Amino acid sequence: MEKVNLAEKFSRFEEHWRPKIVGEVNDVHVKLVKLQGEFMWHQHEEEDELFLVIKGRLQIKLRDGDLWLEPGELAVIPRGVEHCPVAEEEAHVLLLEPKSTVNTGNLTNERTSAAEWI
């Protein structure tokens, strides 16, 4: 059994918006992602999604007001809630999502990315 050092894992990739899997807990994947710029409005029909900011600052746009997350802050976006992540400068984020979750939720397009283990 090995531990996971988040900073070391983040050092292994550069690309944005493509989550990497670093652990699994029952039916949930622990993923790391680097974000920069604006993603797209989407929702996950069946899955809640947790964002924990490790570095930088994350804006999660919501239809009824935005959340701003700093390092050490988390938010859970419940299933069915439209959201749009934005990071003006690069942010490092830990995600918790069911293994079934696709990054673009109800959309499939050029930003859809199957997560791989690192």
From the list 12-20, 21-29, 34-42, 108-116, the region that binds its own copies by CB under 8 A is 21-29
Q: Does 23 help bind its own copies (rule: CB under 8 A)?
A: yes
First to last CA, the chain: 15
Q: Return the closest-CA partner of residue 87 out of 107, 63, 67, 117.
A: 67
Binding residue for its own copies (CB under 8 A) from 17, 18, 61, 81?
81
Decide if 39 contacts 109 (C-beta within 8 A). Answer: no
Binding residue for its own copies (CB under 8 A) from 26, 45, 108, 110?
26
Name the pairing type of β-strands 83-98 and 49-55. Answer: antiparallel
Applying CB under 8 A, the residues found at the interface with its own copies are: 1-7, 22-28, 30, 47-50, 54, 62, 65, 67-69, 72-78, 81, 96-98
